[in-house]
Structures are given as C-alpha cells and as structure tokens.
Amino acid sequence: MNVRLKRAKELMGYAVQLTKDEGLPTMVKRGAGFVRRRFFGKRARYLPGKKVLEAQAAEMVGKTAENCGLPTISILTPLYNTPENYLREFLGSFVNQTAPNGQLCLADASDDAHPEVERVVREYQQKNQRIVYKKVENKGIAANTNAAETLATGEYLALADHDDVLAPHAMYAMGKAVLQLREKGEPDGFLYSDEALFTKDIKKPMVGHFKPDYAPDYLLCCNYICHLAVFKRALYEQLGGERPECDGSQDHDLFLRLIEQTGGAAHLPQVLYYWRVHAGSTSGGTDAKPYVAAAAKKALTDHLSRTGRTGTVEDGLFPSTYRVKWDIEGDPKVSILIPNKDHTDDLEKCLYSIWSKTEWDNFEVIVIENNSTDPATFAYYKDAEKRYEGLKVVTWPEKGFNFSAINNFGRKAAQGEYLLLLNNDVEVRNGDWLTELLRQCAHPGGAAICGAMLYYPDETLQHAGVVTGLGGYAGHSHKYKKAGGSGYLFRAATVQDFSAVTGACLLVRTSVWDEVKGLDEKFAVAFNDVDFCLRVRDKGYRIVWTPYAQLTHYESKSRGGDEKDPVKAARFAAEQQRLYDIHGKADILDDPYYNPSLTRDREDFSESGDLRNLKEGKVTVRWRNA
C-alpha cells in the first residue's frame, strides 16, 4: 500500500507541474508517456543489449588496466554517511564494468556514527583492487573531491556522486571515445556523456537527459554537462582542482575552467550515468540545496572575469538557471528590414509596436515594398514615413515573391552595424526586445546571429530556435508548447545555441551578412533562413536564441499556405531538395545541438522511438569548440 501511495503522489506531482507549465492537453499526452515509461515501459531501454555488453566483457577477458588498450579513468567520489544500500549499488556498478580501465578513488568524510561506510568499502576492495580509499576530515564536497584525486593514478578523471550508479559500459565507452578522438586528431581533454534519472532500478529509468554537443551559451545558463564528465588529470591539477568557494556548483565551476583551457568539449551520446532521485539530492530540485544558486553565480561571474568578458550574472527564469546580461559594446545601429505587400493593418501594428515599445533607440526601419496592388498601401507608406522618424520605404523592382532577393535589396539601403530581418506580421511584446538581441551579439566573443522567442496569438510557442532534421528538413523547437514553460532541460527558457533561427526575427552582424553574401536567392520562399544560418555556422560563427526578446507572430498572414497550390508545392519541394544538395542530407539530419536519441518527428524533444544507437552501444564521439 505504501508503494502504491508513493507512486500515486509521484505521478500527481508530475501531472500538476506539467499542467502548470504546458497545459492540460500536453499533460495528458506526456503524462501517459510518463506512466508507460515509469511503470510499464521497456526495461533497460537506455542500456546496451545483453549481447553487446557480453561482447565488450569478452574483448577484455584476462586484460588489466595496464594492457587493455584503453586510457585509465580515475573516478573521484567523496563519501559522506552514504546509506548502505546506495553505496552497495554504486560500488557494484564499478565492480561490474565491462572494461578494467577504471579506478575508483573514495574519500570518506563520514562521521563516527556511520562506520558501515568503511566496512562496506573494504568488503568491495576484496572484489576489486582498483578501488582505493582513505578517511578524510569533512571539509566540503570540493575539498573532499580534491582529497580523492590524490589517490588517482589514471590519465583521466571522472566525477561521480556516492548515491548514483554507473552504466556497466561507462569505462569502456569513454575509453573508446578518447581513442576515437585521438584517431581523428581532435582534442581529447574533456568529454561528457548523456545520463538518466532513476529512483530504484536503472533498468526502469524515469527519464533520459539527452544533451546537445558542446553548447557554450547553454552552459552559461545551467550545468547541462553534469554526468558523466571525463577530463585529463593533468588539466585538473593545473587548475588546482575544485574550488571550495563554489561548493554546491563546484562541478559547473570546474567545467567552465576546463573549457577555458580546452576551448571546447567532446560529447558521447550514450547514457553512461544514472542519477538517483531522492529527498535531498540536487536531481530532485535545487530547493533541497538552496546554496547552489549563489555558488553557480559566483562560478559564472569568475568565468567572465577570467575570460575578459563583461556582463552581470543574474537568476534565470527557473530555479537552477541563470542569465548573463552582457554589456553591449558601443552604441550599434540596427537596420530593421521589413518586406511588405499590402496588408497595411499588419504592418501598422508591427511599426507601432516597434516605435511605442522599443527601448533601444539607435535603429532605422526599412520597409521593402514588393508588388502591392492596393493604392491605399502607397498612401499609407507616405503617412507612415511622416509619423515614424527613421522609417523609409524602398521599392523592390522585380515581380513575384522572393524573400531572399527582397531582403538582399533592402540591405543596400541599410546603414546599421546590425541587420534585423523582421516579418510584417509580428508585434513587439517587451520593450527591451532589441536590447536583448544585441546583448547576445554586440560584445567580444558574442554570436553572429540571434533569434527571438515568438508566440502565436493564443500564447503558444511559434519559435524557440530551429532544429535541422525535424520532419526531415527543419522545424521549430518546442513549437505549440504553452507559453511560460521551461521546455526540455530548460531549453525553452535559457539562451541556447542552435544551428539556425527563423528569418521572421533574425539579428545578424552586417559584416557577417556581407561575408556570406546575404540570402541565397534560389531559396525564394522556404529554408532561406536555415541555409543562411548554416552557411554562417560553417564559417565558424555561433547562432543563438534568447527567450528574453519576445514578439507575437501572426504567422503567414502575408502569404497563404503552399501545400494546396501545386506550383507552390513543387517549388517548396525543390527548395527542400536544394537544402540537401548544398548542405548534405546527413548533416541536415544530424544537428549538433539536438541529440540523436530525441525524436525527429515532432518539436517537443520527446524520446525517439528508435534507440538503436543506445542498444548497440555505438561510440561516436563528437567534438565541438566555442
């Protein structure tokens, strides 16, 4: 009865929070998925198949850490009054690794009332001599982790909590990943994997945390890297280990300092770590450890100071998230380009919202007239130019509709250091929208492109970044989700790295626009923004999205849908194919900021129905720099 009651409470809490964040229909859909996974789901869905694990173990039969061919990874774990059942599960997960290249370094700060901690560890040492242990004075988690590091002999280190569980192939997969990086000539100083949450049994995980490849702006908003992180011991020692002054967010602080040395990180999209959810664990929410936020903000502030970047670190939109309010360098002028054909009511709503709400005052607006037929439109233009200071109307001389050509023409009239592509059917919601877009770009080390949060009029999300590969080509992150939710792993509520953002509201440095020669005019209607962003990304620039610039988008009011018109449908299909031809189908389907274990069918970041990469234990590590 107690177990049933506990499960009922767990499900009720999940349902209430999901309804609050994303609405009743989403709660019903996702809630059903939660029940299916939590209580009736396929066991061990994130673990490699039995034959895969057996093959790994067979490959390592008779081998030791010294001759197995894999780099040694020393796992640092502070112990403190660890419940015996948790400790046994953790130690067992190390003892039963499929490869012998691990070393477990335990620093035990348990008090005198918990002698069983040492007793259990000594018992497991008899099973595996790769477990090393020492008793230490309790000086906090960072100092205790540093004490564990003095026991380490491995070339690499990893961090693990005393109440969690390692996946059975964690050491094998990470060792192979390091070798793969070396074979490709890529940096091998810092790697991380995916992880999952569980309560009792890792074969019945609650949910997976499927992470993007290295995403520097996301990392400034939360410690999305977490577990399992592996890094060179020499780097750790060079940095002086973990900092006690950041206890509570000591790992986040360490990862930022490591990134400063390595310039990036490698991501292995395998679930190699299981994070136990229980009262008092950080995985259960930061309310259990309120000092975490203060430590995280210190870690981030110190990171800015060390890297010479200036801004203010503040709390984010949700607990355990943060935002950097970057200092904008200078007083850059923004040229806002708005194509328009008739629809003056939409345009007036857009222009009025810009002039009545925008706090950043160094801007100009260029309306690009393209083939209007209503005489009243031209009368409206003359009136609007009188009412809105800094507005000018230029006329595109060609016929038909070509979004790319129209904006390329408008750029010729622009004088700003930044260009902002803006649809005529959007309405500004917050006064600092343009300031927030500039914050992400107009500072040393900033992004080249920034996109905004766009809402439908019914207060659901229209755009929170673009993921390539969704639906086979590209789709909007978290589309149709209820406004106000955090999204998947806070990805709808924090500044994010993306491969693309929508051209309905896209800020770009003018110099970058010119460098890539603007929009490709062979993408007349669709995918011109995606193609543009991918070309900018391929030049080594970053594309980000911010939830702090908010607009309402009355989508496609200027144009009808394409699917019912055979000519438009054919053009749309041709532009889809052109996207493949230019950027490669494999690259389009493999967005580095979207995990391969997530669905490609929907925009909701739900689990893929095909987890073969996990079941087959594939080691395909992906390095990215800043």
Predicted local confidence at residue 38, as pLDDT? 44
Residue 207 pLDDT more than 90?
Answer: yes
Residue 562 pLDDT exceeds 70:
no
Pairwise CA distance, residues 229 & 225, whole Å: 7
What are the distances in angstroms from CA 586 to CA 60, 468, 472, 573, 590?
A: 34, 11, 10, 18, 6
For 295: left if phi > 0, alpha if psi spans -120 to 50, otherwise beta; the answer is alpha
Listed in order, strand segments (DSSP E) in 341-430 are 363-369, 391-395, 418-422, 426-428
Are 479 and 200 within 8 A, CB to CB?
no
SS (H, E, C) 284-314: HCHHHCCHHHHHHHHHHHHHHHHHCCCEEEE
What does the alpha-carbon distance between residue 556 and residue 425 come to, in Å, rounded to a whole number? 8
Say whether pLDDT at 37 is over 70.
no
pLDDT of residue 564: 66
Instruction: Give the pLDDT mean for 84-92.
Output: 97
Query: C-alpha angle with apex 377: 375 to 383, nearest 5 degrees?
Result: 115
Mean pLDDT rounded to a whole number for the chain: 92
pLDDT, tens digit (0-9, with 9 covering 90-100), for 294-323: 999 999 999 999 999 999 999 999 999 999
| pLDDT surpasses 50 at 624 | yes
Give the total residue count for the chain.
626
What is the 3-state secondary structure of 559-603?
A: CCCCCCCHHHHHHHHHHHHHHHHHHCHHHHHCCCCCCCCECCCCC
Which residues are CB-neighbours of 11 under 8 A, at least 6 positions away?
31, 34, 35, 38
**What pLDDT is attached to residue 10?**
44
- Under the banding of pLDDT at 50, 70 and 90, the label for residue 12 is low
How far is it, in rounded angstroms, from Cα 135 to Cα 510? 60
What is the number of H-type helices and E-type strands within the chain? 20, 24
The confidence band for 247, taking pLDDT boundaries of 50, 70 and 90, is very high
Q: Is the pLDDT of residue 293 over 50?
A: yes
Say yes or no to pLDDT of 374 above 50: yes
* Paired tokens of 359: 């706090």
- Asked if 340 contacts 369 with a C-beta cutoff of 8 angstroms, the reply is yes
- Residue pLDDT, tens place only, 465-496: 999 999 989 999 999 999 999 999 999 999 99
Per-residue model confidence (pLDDT) at position 291: 83
Task: With beta carbons less than 8 A apart as the criterion, state whether 462 and 556 touch.
Answer: no
* Contact by Cβ (8 Å): 291, 317: no
**pLDDT at residue 8 above 50?**
no
Q: What is the pLDDT of residue 290?
A: 73
Q: What pLDDT is attached to residue 567?
A: 83
Residue 416, pLDDT > 90, answer yes
User: Sorting pLDDT into bands at 50, 70 and 90, what band is 571?
Assistant: confident
Greater confidence (3 vs 90) lies with 90
Q: What is the pLDDT of residue 557?
A: 30
Contact 268, 174 (CB under 8 A): yes
Three-state DSSP class for 78?
Answer: strand
Under the banding of pLDDT at 50, 70 and 90, the label for residue 35 is very low
What separation, in Å, do the N-terminal and C-terminal C-alpha atoms of the chain show? Answer: 52
332: left (phi over 0), alpha (psi -120 to 50) or beta: beta
Kindly report whether the global pTM for this prediction surpasses the value 0.75.
yes
- Say how far apart CA 572 and CA 582 lie, in whole Å: 15
Residue 21's CB is within 10 A of a number of other CB atoms, namely 20
What's the pLDDT at 568?
A: 80
